Chain A
Amino acid sequence: AQKITQTQPGMFVQEKEAVTLDCTYDTSDPSYGLFWYKQPSSGEMIFLIYQGSYDQQNATEGRYSLNFQKARKSANLVISASQLGDSAMYFCAMREGSYNQGGKLIFGQGTELSVKP
C-alpha cells in the first residue's frame, strides 16, 4: 500500500490566488513527521514546511501552511498568494519512527504546480 498519496499529478493556479495541494498518508506508528518539499526544474529539493504528529497546531511558514487533519490522515499544503516562482514539483513526505531514531523520508509521487500570469 502507498504510504504517501498525492492524487493531483498537475495543478494550475492563477497568480496571486491560493492553491491547495493534497496529500494523504498511511501509518500505524503514532510518532511521525510530515514534510513538504519543492523541486524546481533545477532539481534541488527545497524544504518548505514540517508538521509533527503530536503538534497541536497547523504549521505555517510564510506563505505556506499545512492543513493537518490527523483523523483523516491528510496533510495538505496551502500556498497563499501564488507567485510565478512557485511553479515547480511539490512532494509530500513522511518520516516514521520515534524521536532520535532517524528514519528515511517516504515521498509521494509529486504534484506539478503551474502558476499562470
Chain B
Amino acid sequence: EAGVVQSPRYKIIEKKQPVAFWCNPISGHNTLYWYRQNLGQGPELLIRYENEEAVDDSQLPKDRFSAERLKGVDSTLKIQPAELGDSAVYLCASSPGPSWGNEQFFGPGTRLTVL
C-alpha cells in the first residue's frame, strides 16, 4: 500500500515568490492534515480537512496561505507571497477518519527554503 505522497521534496525560492505543495493521502483516508515544522521544533497544525471540508484552519495565516482539497482526495497548500520566516518543512498527514484513536500517517515532507 502506498503511503502519503508529497511533492516536491525540496523547494528553494526567493522571498515574495509564490510556492505550492502537493499531497496525495493514503487511499480511502478521509482526513487530511497540513503541518509546518520549523527547525528544531515539533510540527504545528496548519489545517485539517474532513473530505473536502476544512474543519480546522484556525492556525493557517490566511493573508498569505491558502489550501484546497477539491475532490476530497489530494490537496494543495499555497503560499503567496513567501517570506523568509516561511522556511520550514511542510508535512502532510492522513488518517482514515477523525476518531482520535486513529494514528496519523505522515508523508516525507517538503523542505522549503526562502532566500
Residues on A close to B: CB < 8 A?
4, 31-33, 35, 37, 42-47, 50, 52, 91, 93, 95, 97-105, 107-110
Contacts and interface: CB of A to CB of B under 8 A. Distances in A.
A39 to B, nearest CB: 9
Given A35-B103, A42-B108, A101 B89 contact: no
Q: How large is the interface on B (under 10, 10 to 19, 20 to 34, 35 or more residues)?
A: 20 to 34
Contact of A100 (B42, B45, B99, B104): B99
Contacts of B91: 45
Interface of B: 31, 33, 35, 40-45, 48, 50, 55-56, 89, 91, 93, 97-101, 103-109, 111
Contact of A93 (B40, B42, B108): B42
Contacts of A104: 33, 45, 48, 56
B106 A97 contact: no
